[in-house]
Amino acid sequence: TQLLEQSPQFLSIQEGENLTVYCNSSSVFSSLQWYRQEPGEGPVLLVTVVTGGEVKKLKRLTFQFGDARKDSSLHITAAQPGDTGLYLCAGGTNTGNQFYFGTGTSLTVIP
Amino acid sequence: DAGITQSPRHKVTETGTPVTLRCHQTENHRYMYWYRQDPGHGLRLIHYSYGVKDTDKGEVSDGYSVSRSKTEDFLLTLESATSSQTSVYFCAISQAGGLGTQYFGPGTRLTVL
């Protein structure tokens, strides 16, 4: 069962542009994580958000958790080639021990 | 970085042979997970463990079994490997299950010929 929809699936942009990746669900999550994965490696945690409406910033990356805790967004300002990778969102619930992953957004930043 | 290792990192095997993948953690986290990652499917949960000897099935558990005899080790076994089980397998750990955060191992690339 795929509970999290990510969009867009693929994104190719020029260095310096801004972008937003969306992670949407009809389910409520108690926590929402964003990961970045590079080829041949495991996903690396970027951020965890747990409060509805929460906004977290990590340098040029801004993460927002929706007020109803059903959706999240990742905004990158002035993208750089080092931002290239697969971005994954994952939701956790307080009624189970599992995490539910989106299918990912593959980002390519062209120098 | 969380202390998670997976072994082997790469394996090629033939259809019908048994295969065991190992995940080892040094973080003393309660929860451990096995996922597979395939193009177009993202990360799909195979099995997870919420304590020693306590395991449960995930979304794609058919053809896989797991065991956890001590906190630090979580084994994934393919009793009779099939070509459809060719994939990249990731182990993850979490201190607080769905309320916490997961940390991933480096992955095992398995090819079943």
Question: Mean pLDDT across the stretch A74-95?
Answer: 93
CA atoms of B38 and B16, how far apart (whole Å): 21
Question: Mean pLDDT across the stretch A71-79?
Answer: 97
| CB-closest option in A30, A93, A98 to B45 | A98
In this predicted model, what pLDDT tens digit does every residue of B81-110 receive, in sequence order? 999 999 999 999 998 877 778 899 999 999
Task: Tell me if the bond preceding A8 is cis, omega within 30° of 0.
Answer: yes
Supply B57's token pair: 């099935």
A85 to chain B, any CB pair closer than 8 A? The answer is no
Q: Which of B50, B99, B103, B108 to mutate to test the interface with A (most CBs of A within 10 A)?
A: B99
Distances in whole angstroms, Cα of residue B87 to Cα of each of B37, B38, B42, B84: 6, 6, 11, 8
Average pLDDT, chain B: 93
Look at residue B95 in the predicted model and tell me its pLDDT: 87
Measured between CA atoms, how close is B16 to chain A, in angstroms? Answer: 26
Look at residue B1 in the predicted model and tell me its pLDDT: 57
Supply B20's token pair: 């065991």
Look at residue A1 in the predicted model and tell me its pLDDT: 54
Measured between CA atoms, how close is A44 to chain B, in angstroms? Answer: 7
Reference A33, options B9, B53, B43, B37; nearest CA is: B43
